[in-house]
Chains A and B, each alone.
Chain A
């Protein structure tokens, strides 16, 4: 099978702008799923609202395109009610961490077996370029016409602090690393968070003079470094890529199964 066997061809062309990084994330995801040889009937993709969230419509799995920020809450219901399914939740940065921030930390805290992908383009694309909680200080956006005074979250640190048991970061430039990380994230038993830096040349790029899509991807190459590399010591501004946390802790659905056993034994 190739990537085309996992997409709903009749719903293409997709709605992403030329140069958008989200198609690369989709490709990485499908590569990972192919490598894992998962059955299409066993995968549920749950998404919220935004450019990133349209990913669910294009893939030939069970797909649930929900409301803004709440994808992880819907996904929690799907997973808890049918724990054998593989649940993948692609989200945008605003979707996951502004309106959906509360659900993000609580899903991580529960360690429910869901793979959350934060497609971080540091902007609200669908509504036309407003700043997000991942834009960062000094960035320009349509709602920060002078400059942004909000500080950004570090998704990796936030996910680790909230209790996610698999936390990783990659970019749309590092496509092989991205697919490998997504493979590990899906295989991981517990709540996995994968942040993917994904370029938005249309809004973020234009407002911040980041150049073309290719130049933005090159910046991912130049401004990131593998986790734990020497380069980071020499240049602390570099963003680390790789797997930050990977640990085994009791998974939420399995813990609830223990409750069911106790309740049944007592009744």
Chain B
């Protein structure tokens, strides 16, 4: 199957994965370095009867995909920092109204217009806390095109499973770099279909009354059940309410359904962790450099390992604590000023042993950078 092997940009790999996952509605607005996702989808979606919309801004793009998700479609938007900032209010709406959607943020340097065509991982905390109010958020990332493909499909699956928006945090290097991608056969990666209600027409349907397993079966807008959807606190019919008990129960539900499943949602790659005295923790394109350092060190007899995080939120604190329990030194490798560093420090038993190896100048952190910082931390000089 010649056409199943491609040499593509990460943005194209993400697009291929979205199509594989059953994407049939995309709305977006041009922004570097994510634009190629929209360009490819403008061409591809109508071939399968799907819809592509270029909206007037990122706010309306986010709103449009929420509307389309409600009618029963698999939806996505793609953007970068400034657009991601504009999407935050509607993103919170999708959290509150429990609407599945995938939001891709191909990170560039910020704040503001920042460093549009250069790499950064500065939006990690924005993904977690960008929208206002208490909430939980699923955020995934990847460091190679093959894994980006898998994690993108995963993002769609988790969005349906938890009835929630899922953020896919790419970075400029992953988005624009070209490498090999093998498109899996149909069925090779399982797809989660939307859970639809079995309640018959004419019987009272409660869109916001969770089943025993916590999941809420949906009914497509335009179907036989007419109900209300709102960003206000709401009862089981979706009608606004400020009843304190109801408000309490709903915020707990929204947070707990994700936070309590953090071990289920946690995805990672683990390299040489068993006997590692020094553990690097990294993600996205930075993890490629970190892995290079680890493999080189191993070839020289060093006891260094890498924990590559693919789930950033909910932060897999149990996993990090367990894997780092025996490490003397933990080095977080990332391209920001320590956004995951603080999470790692909170998770491990020995936070004084956690250090940062970073670059914040729009240039990919290299194995040489990491090695030098590691030597300094280990007291071996540069």
Instruction: Across the A-B interface, give the 5 residue pairs with the lowest CB-CB distance, nearest first.
Output: A77-B67, A77-B64, A73-B60, A73-B63, A263-B46
A196 close to B (CB within 8 Å): no
Known A-B contacts A57-B228, A264-B47; A81 and B90 likewise in contact (beta carbons under 8 Å)? no
Of the candidates B57, B64, B70, B223, which one forms a contact with A76 in the assembled complex, judged by CB atoms under 8 Å apart? Answer: B64
State the total of A-B contacts with C-beta under 8 angstroms: 130
B365 close to A (CB within 8 Å): no
A184 close to B (CB within 8 Å): no
| Residue ranges of B at the interface with A (Cβ–Cβ < 8 Å) | 25, 27, 43, 46-47, 49, 51, 53, 55-57, 59-61, 63-73, 75, 89-90, 93, 221-224, 226-232, 239-240
In the assembly, what is the distance between CA of A76 and CA of B226, in Å? 19
In the complex the two chains form, is A65's CB within 8 Å of B63's CB?
no
In the assembly, what is the distance between CA of A50 and CA of B27, in Å? 26
> Would you call the interface of chain A mostly helix, strand, loop, or mixed?
helix
Known A-B contacts A63-B226, A67-B89; A76 and B47 likewise in contact (beta carbons under 8 Å)? no
For B51, list chain A residues within 8 Å (CB).
80-81, 256
Q: Chain A 15-48, CB within 8 Å of chain B: the 1/0 string?
A: 0000000000000000000000000111010100
In the assembly, what is the distance between CA of A130 and CA of B227, in Å? 32
For A256, list chain B residues within 8 Å (CB).
46, 51
In the complex the two chains form, is A65's CB within 8 Å of B228's CB?
yes
Known A-B contacts A77-B25, A81-B71, A82-B222; A63 and B227 likewise in contact (beta carbons under 8 Å)? yes
For A67, list chain B residues within 8 Å (CB).
63, 89-90, 93, 231
In the complex the two chains form, is A62's CB within 8 Å of B239's CB?
no
Chain A: CB-nearest residue to B223:
A41
Of the candidates B47, B63, B226, which one forms a contact with A62 in the assembled complex, judged by CB atoms under 8 Å apart? Answer: B226
| Residue ranges of A at the interface with B (Cβ–Cβ < 8 Å) | 8, 11, 40-42, 44, 46, 56-57, 60-67, 70, 72-82, 84-85, 102-103, 106, 256, 259-260, 262-264, 266-267
In the complex the two chains form, is B67's CB within 8 Å of A76's CB?
yes
In the complex the two chains form, is A80's CB within 8 Å of B229's CB?
no
**Interchain residue pairs with CB less than 8 A apart (13):** A66-B63, A66-B230, A67-B93, A73-B59, A74-B67, A77-B53, A77-B65, A81-B71, A85-B222, A103-B56, A256-B51, A259-B46, A263-B43
Chain B: CB-nearest residue to A46:
B67
For A62, list chain B residues within 8 Å (CB).
221-222, 226-227
In the complex the two chains form, is A77's CB within 8 Å of B66's CB?
yes
Of the candidates B43, B60, B221, B239, which one forms a contact with A106 in the assembled complex, judged by CB atoms under 8 Å apart? Answer: B60
In the assembly, what is the distance between CA of A11 and CA of B239, in Å? 8
Of the candidates B46, B90, B224, which one forms a contact with A70 in the assembled complex, judged by CB atoms under 8 Å apart? Answer: B90
In the assembly, what is the distance between CA of A196 and CA of B229, in Å? 25
In the assembly, what is the distance between CA of A42 and CA of B222, in Å? 6
In the complex the two chains form, is A57's CB within 8 Å of B239's CB?
yes
In the assembly, what is the distance between CA of A26 and CA of B66, in Å? 26
For B57, list chain A residues within 8 Å (CB).
102
In the complex the two chains form, is A77's CB within 8 Å of B63's CB?
yes
For B43, list chain A residues within 8 Å (CB).
263
Known A-B contacts A64-B67, A70-B90, A74-B64; A264 and B49 likewise in contact (beta carbons under 8 Å)? yes
Known A-B contacts A61-B226, A77-B27, A102-B57; A66 and B93 likewise in contact (beta carbons under 8 Å)? yes
Interface centre among A40, A61, A77 (most CB of B within 10 A): A77
For A73, list chain B residues within 8 Å (CB).
55, 59-61, 63-64, 67
For A264, list chain B residues within 8 Å (CB).
46-47, 49
In the complex the two chains form, is B47's CB within 8 Å of A65's CB?
no
How many whole Å from A265's CB to the nearest CB in chain B? 10
Known A-B contacts A80-B25, A263-B47; A106 and B56 likewise in contact (beta carbons under 8 Å)? yes
How many whole Å from A164's CB to the nearest CB in chain B? 15
In the complex the two chains form, is A78's CB within 8 Å of B226's CB?
no
Chain A: CB-nearest residue to B201:
A41
Known A-B contacts A77-B67, A82-B71; A260 and B221 likewise in contact (beta carbons under 8 Å)? no
In the complex the two chains form, is B63's CB within 8 Å of A63's CB?
no
How many whole Å from B92's CB to the nearest CB in chain A? 8
Of the candidates A46, A57, A263, which one forms a contact with B240 in the assembled complex, judged by CB atoms under 8 Å apart? Answer: A57
How many whole Å from A29's CB to the nearest CB in chain B? 16
Chain B: CB-nearest residue to A252:
B53
In the complex the two chains form, is B239's CB within 8 Å of A80's CB?
no
For B64, list chain A residues within 8 Å (CB).
73-74, 76-77, 80
How many whole Å from B239's CB to the nearest CB in chain A? 6
How many whole Å from B200's CB to the nearest CB in chain A? 14
Known A-B contacts A57-B230, A67-B231, A70-B90; A76 and B46 likewise in contact (beta carbons under 8 Å)? no
For A40, list chain B residues within 8 Å (CB).
226
In the complex the two chains form, is B231's CB within 8 Å of A70's CB?
no
Interface centre among B46, B59, B72 (most CB of A within 10 A): B46
Chain B: CB-nearest residue to A82:
B71
For A260, list chain B residues within 8 Å (CB).
46, 49
For B61, list chain A residues within 8 Å (CB).
73
In the assembly, what is the distance between CA of A85 and CA of B223, in Å? 10
In the assembly, what is the distance between CA of A44 and CA of B229, in Å? 11
